[in-house]
Amino acid sequence: MADVRVDTIIRGGQVVTSSQVYESSIAITGGKIAAIGPEELLPPADKYIDAAGKFVLPGLIDSHVHLDGHDDYELGSRAAALAGLTTIIPFGSYNLEGDETLPQAINRSKEQFASNALVDFAFHFMLQNRPDILNGLPQALEMGVKSYKMFMTYKKRPWRMCDDDYICNAMDLVASGGGVMQLHCESGNIIEYLENKLIAEGHTHPTDFPRACPDWAEEEAINRAVQMSSATRCPTYVVHLSTHLGMERIKQAQSLGQAVWTETCPQYLLLSDAEMARVGPLAKIGPPLRADDGPDREAMWRGLEQGHTSIVSSDHSPHPQALKQVGWDNIFVTPEGASVPFGSPGLETIVSLTYSEGVVKRGLPIWWLARVMSENPARIFGLYPRKGVIQVGSDADLLIIDPQTDRIITAKDHQSNAGYTLFEGWQVSGTPWMTLLRGQVLLNQGNLEQRPGYGQFLACEGPRSPIGGPVR
């Protein structure tokens, strides 16, 4: 009809889905994708965006983000927006020392994030070693928080490591509420023994750290996770996979039809334990960076290429540099006896690294990026088809990448309070030229056009199976 108009048309770009690339235009109205097709077949628009020479992807999602510590919700949301992300799923926090219930913690976290958010957000919540927190789990699931995380390691960190029976009880509740359980799979008792032995022998230099967390400790925990998933019939997601041995066990579970999925992170794809000698405690992450001459990095790439690994996420854990430097003296514990912090920042580098290293340098198809950082996170964490796809009726969340640009990664450009990046000085190709969130321009050539509070909370549904299969 001649009087029909849309808000915006993006024209001239290469539209990227999770399986193909094609030239088309996208019409947007009311924050949703209204039509996809040749521009001449679309209604007129109030605004046109010329994406000629660029890729137009569904908005990217970082599904593994920690913002409950040194980077608060406002800072993390701003960093995500500037990095080219449109949705993040951080871990909400609750007061372990008080009597706050899980539903109360969810409401508090929603309010705190919503007032500061520049990007859309859902939540995971950690079920730490406080069994009474499970009392609120059925209600929490009904509130749209469908994803929970438990730790099988970190014995020295209060409240973290959980026994298998407690994990199974939680998995029963999560499964009955249509959710998904995330597990940090490293054998805590084994690691505790090895770590204490190294400390007793005086082997406490950063280069000694990987010896406390061997590859088989990850495999052993994954094996238990797979068995617990089978016993409880709970969809299970192994976070930050790092080893060849772990990958093989997950592949075996998937071959039997189990709902066991996994992710990996740029640090496990691109870095090695050589970083422990170079930057010491800044590279202390869990699981550790693996041996430079070992099979693990290539196995992580192979898992992505074969479709056994569903997602690339950052595991953004921005402990400030000053808090980590104490690990030069003892990589395991501080003088006060606390665990030297684990983790590194990654929110601001994940988009550029995954595109540059995966698509440009390794030759993976551009639609692979849409699969592992958009559609699959949306599927597993209950945001599909509102998020993660370019299709009529979905939110008009889009990332436009300019493939003709290069830049150097430096922490000087980052928002995070960490003050460093493990990828300092890396050259990356491709720049997030523009993002749209629900039809409105969010990022425009490095400048933010929305204000804190624009981002919205996303109530999640139950998980759907991710897209698998080889990508080449």
> Domain holding 175: CATH number?
3.20.20.140
Q: pLDDT per residue over 25-72, tens digit each?
A: 999 999 999 999 999 999 999 999 999 999 999 999 999 999 977 898
170: CB partners within 8 A, 6+ apart: 127, 134, 137, 148, 150, 162, 181
Domains of the chain: total: 1
Whether cis (ω within 30° of 0) applies to the bond prior to 206 is: no
Q: Say what the pLDDT of residue 95 is.
A: 74
- Residue 298: CB atoms within 10 A of its CB come to 11
The tens digit of pLDDT for each residue in 120-172 reads 999 999 998 888 899 999 999 999 999 999 999 999 988 899 999 999 999 99
Q: Is residue 394 in some structural domain? A: no
Query: What token pair was written down for 439?
Result: 């039809």
pLDDT at 97: 73
In angstroms, rounded to a whole number, what is the distance separating the alpha carbons of residues 194 and 190? 6
Q: How confident is the model at residue 394 (pLDDT cuts 50, 70, 90)?
A: very high
Residue 35 counted as domain residue? no
Domain range for 237: 62-380
Write down the pLDDT at residue 411.
Answer: 97
- In the three-class reduction of DSSP (H, G, I as helix; E, B as strand; rest coil), residue 70 is classed as coil
* In a domain? residue 16: no
Give the distance, in angstroms, between the CA of residue 395 and the centroid of all CA atoms in the same chain: 20
d(CA 52, CA 34): 20
Q: Is the peptide bond before 58 cis (omega within 30 degrees of 0)?
A: no
For residues 426 and 17, is the Cβ–Cβ distance under 8 A? no
Mean pLDDT of 98-117: 91
Residue 264 within any structural domain of the chain = yes
The CA–CA distances, whole Å, from 452 to 81, 120, 448 equal: 11, 11, 10
Q: Is residue 38 part of a domain?
A: no
Encoded amino acid at 395, one letter: D
Task: Show the tokens assigned to 72.
Answer: 């608060």
- Which residue in the block uniquely carries the two structure tokens 């491709």? 430
Residue with tokens 């409880």: 232
Q: Enumerate the β-bridge partners of residue 121.
A: 88, 457
Q: How far apart are CA 229 and CA 260, in angstroms?
A: 8
Q: Taking Cα atoms as reference points, which of 76, 23, 77 lies closest to residue 54?
A: 23
Span 287-295, average pLDDT: 97
What DSSP state is assigned to residue 46?
Answer: E
What percentage of the chain has pLDDT greater than the value 90?
Answer: 93
Please compute the mean of the pLDDT values over residues 438-459 and round it to a whole number: 97
| Strand locations in 178-319 (E) | 180-184, 236-238, 260-264, 311-312
Average pLDDT estimate for 415-444: 97
CB-side exposure of 362: number of CA atoms within 13 Å? 22
String of DSSP letters for 255-280: HTT--EEEEE-HHHHH--TTHHHHTG
Q: Are 242 and 287 in contact (CB under 8 A)?
A: yes
Q: Tell me, what amino acid is at 358?
A: G
Number of residues assigned to the chain: 472
Contact assessment for residue 89 and residue 66, using Cβ atoms and an 8 Å cutoff: no
Helix 188-200 crosses helix 215-232 at what angle (to 10 degrees)?
Answer: 160
The predicted model gives 453-467 an average pLDDT of 97
Angle 89-399-22 (CA atoms, 0-180°, nearest 5)? Answer: 125
In a domain, 144, yes or no: yes
* Average pLDDT estimate for 376-397: 98
* Region 370-394 average pLDDT: 98
Q: Is residue 408 part of a domain?
A: no
User: Quick one: how far is CA 243 from the chain centroid?
Assistant: 18
Cα distance between residue 246 and residue 279, in whole Å: 27
Check residue 158 and give its pLDDT: 82
**Residue 257 CB-density burial (10 A; 0-12 exposed, 13-18 middle, 19+ buried):** exposed
> Is the pLDDT assigned to residue 2 strictly greater than 70?
no
Q: Is the pLDDT of residue 277 over 90?
A: yes
Distance CA 311, CA 290 (A): 19
If one counts every other C-beta atom within 10 angstroms of the C-beta of residue 343, the result is: 18
Report the alpha-carbon distance of residue 58 to residue 138 in Å, rounded.
32
User: Residue 154, exposed/middle/buried by CB under 10 A (0-12, 13-18, 19+)?
Assistant: buried
Return the residue matching tokens 């890396």: 426
Does the residue 143 lie in any domain?
A: yes
- DSSP strand pairing (260-264 vs 311-312): parallel
Share the mean pLDDT of the chain: 96
Prior bond to 287 cis, omega within 30?
yes
pLDDT of residue 1: 43
d(C-alpha 161, C-alpha 152), whole Å: 5
CB 57 within 8 A of CB 405: no
Q: What is residue 293's DSSP assignment? A: T
pLDDT value of position 278: 97
Q: How many CB atoms lie within 10 A of CB 362?
A: 14
The whole-model pTM stands at: 0.97
C-alpha 5/C-alpha 28 separation (Å) is 10
